[in-house]
């Protein structure tokens, strides 16, 4: 009997407790964070910095959520990502979850960078950490399941929609208290999540996918021709 080779992707499911895509993301964040704590230059190279992105360091649009500034963010943010990843991967599929994470990360980075072009204070942003991404995913989950019941800290019952609104409101309060420039990535990620949740811009994209899905069967059927029972309507090549 042939010995079955191990599946590397199963290693990131942690015994089937979490989708492999989510587990891989958490492992990368853990390794990148520990590396960043032992070598501060790593965090500096991964940070979302509009000035550096203007100079061609475009990898920062992707790397900024991977390095966490402190163990608390890694633990609590990682727990939230674990839970959200399970829920959203089940609702969307792992591939779509990964695409949404990448889209939110890059779009929030681009919005922050573009805003820095017209607002000098935003150009001084140097952000690392997953909280903007996590908050955006909370909004996505809340609007995907607006009537679902959750208990915040075990004492505050909220629906999914109200949780999304609470996270947005709290982020705005933090931005007012600490400065909007510092919270530009957080607000940008929330804006992207709300745009996606409300389906803004989704109509043309859905129509394009529907057109493509309908076009493919038609293109495959072009070589076919209807042949009547008496054999008419088709050339000799259709007859045995």
CA–CA dist 163, 204 (Å, integer): 29
Tell me the average pLDDT across 61-78: 96
Confidence (pLDDT) at 208: 52
Residue 157 has φ and ψ, to the nearest 5°, of: -75, 130
Q: Is the pLDDT of residue 183 over 60?
A: yes
Q: Is the pLDDT of residue 239 over 50?
A: no
pLDDT band at residue 74, thresholds of 50, 70 and 90? very high
Strand partners, 156: 152
Tell me the average pLDDT across 41-62: 95
Confidence (pLDDT) at 93: 93
Q: Is the pTM of this model over 0.85?
A: no
CA–CA dist 22, 97 (Å, integer): 9
Do 175 and 185 meet the contact criterion of CB atoms below 8 Å apart? no
Residues 6+ apart with CB under 8 A from 109: 48, 53, 60, 61, 62, 64, 185, 188
Please write the tens of the pLDDT for every residue from 147-181. 999 887 777 889 999 999 999 999 999 999 998 99
Which CATH number is associated with domain 8-201? 1.20.1540.10
Please write the tens of the pLDDT for every residue from 2-13. 455 556 677 888
Please write the tens of the pLDDT for every residue from 99-152. 999 999 999 999 999 999 999 888 888 999 999 999 999 999 999 999 999 887
Tell me which H or E stretch contains 150. Answer: strand 149-152
pLDDT band at residue 14, thresholds of 50, 70 and 90? confident
Q: Is 149 helix (H, G, I), strand (E, B) or coil?
A: strand
Confidence (pLDDT) at 205: 46
Q: Is the pLDDT of residue 207 over 90?
A: no
Do 127 and 48 meet the contact criterion of CB atoms below 8 Å apart? yes
Confidence (pLDDT) at 8: 62
Lowest mean pLDDT among 67-71, 80-84, 124-128, 139-143: 124-128
């Amino acid at each position: 009997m042939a010995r079955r080779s191990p599946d590397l992707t199963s290693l990131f499911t942690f015994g089937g407790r979490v989708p492999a895509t989510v587990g891989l993301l958490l492992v990368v964040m853990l390794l990148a964070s520990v590396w960043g704590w032992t070598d501060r230059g790593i965090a500096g190279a991964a940070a979302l910095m509009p000035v550096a992105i203007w100079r061609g360091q475009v990898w920062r649009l992707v790397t900024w959520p991977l390095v966490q500034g402190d163990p608390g963010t890694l633990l609590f943010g990682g727990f939230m990502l674990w839970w959200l990843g399970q829920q959203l991967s089940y609702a969307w599929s792992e591939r779509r979850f990964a695409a949404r994470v990448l889209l939110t990360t890059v779009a929030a980075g681009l919005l922050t960078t573009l805003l820095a072009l017209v607002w000098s204070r935003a150009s001084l942003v140097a952000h690392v950490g997953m909280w903007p991404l996590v908050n955006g995913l909370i909004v996505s989950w809340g609007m995907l399941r607006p009537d679902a019941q959750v208990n915040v800290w075990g004492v505050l019952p909220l629906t999914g929609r109200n949780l999304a609104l609470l996270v947005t409101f709290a982020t705005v309060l933090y931005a007012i208290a600490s400065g909007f420039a510092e919270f530009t990535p957080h607000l940008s990620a929330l804006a992207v999540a709300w745009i996606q949740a409300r389906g803004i811009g989704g109509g043309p994209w859905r129509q394009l996918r529907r057109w493509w899905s309908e076009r493919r069967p038609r293109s495959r059927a072009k070589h076919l021709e209807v042949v009547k029972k008496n054999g008419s309507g088709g050339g000799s090549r259709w007859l045995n």
